[in-house]
Every structure is written in C-alpha cells, then in structure tokens.
C-alpha cells in the first residue's frame, strides 16, 4: 500500500478540486467528496429517477389503453349476439365436448368445466354425451353460472 503524500489533498470525484476536511464527507464508494457536490449530485440523481418513473408510468398508461381498446373490439368480433349482453358483461367463446345437457333445468356442462345456464329462448342443437360444441355467451364479473346465447355443433375431427 502506498501512502498518500501528506501535502496533497484528496480530490473530489465530482468537481476534481481538492477536498479539505471540514467541508467534506465520505461518499458511498469511500472517497472524500465535497458536501455541496454530493448533495447536488444526489439531487441530480433524484431528478433522473423522477424522469424515469414518469416515462415508465406513461408507457404503462399507453399499454393499458391499447389493451382496453383491443378488449372493447373483441366481443363484437367473436359473438354476433354481443349487443344483447348486459353492459358490464364479458363475452366468451368456448369449444368443448358435452358432459351433460339437462333440457329441464337448461343446464349445460362441458367436460372439465363449470355448468352453463342456457336461457329458454336459445335453441339447442341435438346434443348427446361427447358432442363437440362451440358455446358462445357472456358472464358478469366472473359470476356463475355463465350465460349461453348460442350453441353450435363443432365439426369433429378424426
Ligand atoms: Zn467537489
């Protein structure tokens, strides 16, 4: 280790001017630094942080707007019956196999899913166990059961 010459004051890493004890402190890197330079430096860093945070916030807002626009377009794309949905409903389209269909209670189950409620006015194709169907409908705030507005037989493969 080489000792620092005692006549030479350490220099401030920010302004490169000599640092005399009294108006200085030790930075987080262990260097002597002017108290004034340090506080200015910290202020600059804080301003940069704020700028970065604002940019991130703007970016997030843009992404959110995009997602909302896409979601708003989505239901009319997939379901012609979307105009009959309640205001806060979310449309869905599902393809699956019939587990059970009860014409009395109008309850439809697909394999591995929760029961759907099928209103009386919805006409049902002839369904048997394992019939492949496309179910179109909506739900409100993820409440059960999901309401069916259309049921179509899906083409079977194989
Ligand atoms: Zn300085």
Mean pLDDT of the chain: 79
Contact 134, 94 (CB under 8 A): yes
What pLDDT is stored for residue 158 in this prediction?
46
Please give the CATH architecture assigned to the domain spanning 82-153.
Beta Barrel (2.40)
* pLDDT tens readout for residues 79-96: 444 456 677 788 888 888
Q: Distance, CA 1 to ligand 1 centroid (Å)?
A: 26
64 in helix, strand or coil? helix
Q: Distance, CA 56 to ligand 1 centroid (Å)?
A: 32
What pLDDT is stored for residue 107 in this prediction?
94
Q: Distance, CA 8 to ligand 1 centroid (Å)?
A: 15
Residues with CB under 5 A from ligand 1 (ion): 12, 14-15, 34, 37
CA 33, CA 22: separation in Å to the nearest integer? 11
Where along the chain do its domains lie? 1-73, 82-153
Q: Which pLDDT band holds residue 50 (cuts at 50, 70, 90)?
A: confident
**pTM, whole model, 2 decimals?**
0.44
């Amino acid at each position: 280790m080489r000792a620092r010459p005692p006549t030479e004051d350490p220099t401030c890493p920010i302004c490169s001017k000599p640092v005399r004890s009294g108006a200085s402190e030790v930075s987080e890197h262990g260097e002597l630094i002017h108290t004034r330079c340090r506080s200015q430096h910290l202020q600059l860093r804080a301003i940069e942080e704020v700028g970065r945070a604002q940019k991130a916030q703007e970016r997030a807002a843009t992404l959110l707007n995009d997602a909302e626009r896409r979601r708003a377009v989505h239901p009319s794309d997939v379901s012609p019956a979307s105009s009959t949905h309640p205001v806060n409903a979310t449309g869905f389209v599902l393809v699956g196999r019939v587990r059970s269909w009860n014409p009395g209670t109008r309850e439809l189950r697909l394999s591995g899913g929760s029961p759907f409620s099928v209103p009386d006015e919805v006409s049902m194709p002839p369904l048997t166990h394992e019939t492949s169907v496309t179910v179109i409908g909506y739900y409100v705030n993820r409440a059960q059961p999901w309401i069916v507005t259309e049921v179509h037989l899906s083409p079977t493969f194989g």
